[in-house]
Amino acid sequence: MTDMQLISLTVNGDEHTLAVESRRTLVDVLRHDLGYTGTHVGCEHGICGACTVLLDGQPVRACLIFGVQADGCEVRTVEGLADGDELSDLQQAFSRCHALQCGFCTPGFLMLAEAYLAEKDGRPADEAEVREVVAANLCRCTGYQGIVEAVCSVAADRAKASG
């Protein structure tokens, strides 16, 4: 199998050009070709959401997308969330609410929640809606409560900040 394609993509603001096999998934391109190992693989069949990244702002399962499909796209991964040493409000809330234990599912949840909060654009969130959104991903450790609380608390803070 040497069906190689040249692709370019921007990850967290940095541009990369590389040759990939057409069958290579985006998550493998990110993790193994480009070294963004923060994004995890939990199932490779689109159920667990551990591999969630933002592709042109939209949350996608990077195991269900080929690297070649990301040609010319902008990708955001968990490595791009903190501002230098400063964790984002969402990352801080995850720690405060004990929304992670082993941390394996965490990057996927952060990216999913990040997209959701961006879409809310400062409008307040209700818990039922947050539960429905985070139900897209699986976590085996936390029982989800901390995750729901973290996302709700950031939504509330951002709503307050945007008046």
Partner 1 sequence: MTRWIGAKVPRKEDGRMLRGRGRFVDDMRPPGTLHAAFVRSPHASATITSIDLEEAAKTAVGAFTSADLGDPFLLAVLERDEFTPTRMPLLAGDRVRHVAEPVAVVVADDPYAAEDAAELVVVDWDPRAAVTDLRSAADGPAVHSGLTDNCVVDLVMFDDERLDEILATAPVVVEAEFDSGRVAALPMEGRACLAEWDDRDEQVVVHVSTQVPHQVRSGIAQALGLPERTIRVIAPDVGGGFGLKCVVGREEVVVAALALRLRRPVKWIEDRQENLTAAFHGHEQHYAVKAAFAADGRILGLAADIRCDIGAYSAYPFTCAVEPLMAATELPGAYKVPAYRARGRGVATNKPPTAPYRGVSRPQIVLVMERLMEKAAAVLRMDALDVRRRNLIDKFPYAGVNAISYDEGSYRESLDLAEKKTSDWPAECDRLRSRGLLAGIGFSCFSERTAYGTPTMSQRRMRMTPGYDTAHVRMDPTGEVVVTTGTCGHGQGHETTFAQIVADQLGIDPGQVRLRQGDTDLTSYGWGTFGSRSIVIGGGAAGKAAGVVASQLRRIAAFLLEVSETDVELSEGAARVRGVPGAEVSVAEMARLVHFQAHQLPDDCRYALEARQSADPPGTFSNATHAALVSIDPGTGGVRVERYVVVEDCGVVINPLVVDGQVRGGVAQGIAAALYEQLVYDADGQPATASLMDYLAPTAAEIPPIQIFHLETPSQHSETGAKGMGEGGTIGAPAAVLNAINDALGSDFDHIPVLPHQVLASSGGNR
CA distance 109 to 135: 10
Minimum Å gap between C-beta 34 and partner 1 is: 12
Nearer to partner 1, 42 or 162 (CB): 42
Q: What character string, x for contact with partner 1 (CB under 8 A) and - otherwise, covers 84-123? A: ---x---x--xxx-x-xxxxxxxx--x-------------
Binding site for ligand FES (CB under 6 A): 41-44, 46-51, 61, 63, 100-106, 139-142
Cα–Cα nearest to 67, from 31, 28, 106: 28
Told to check if 65 binds partner 1 by CB under 8 A, we report no
- Contact residues: partner 1, CB under 8 A: 1, 21, 23-24, 31-32, 36-45, 47-48, 50, 77-79, 81-82, 87, 91, 94-96, 98, 100-107, 110, 131-132, 134-148
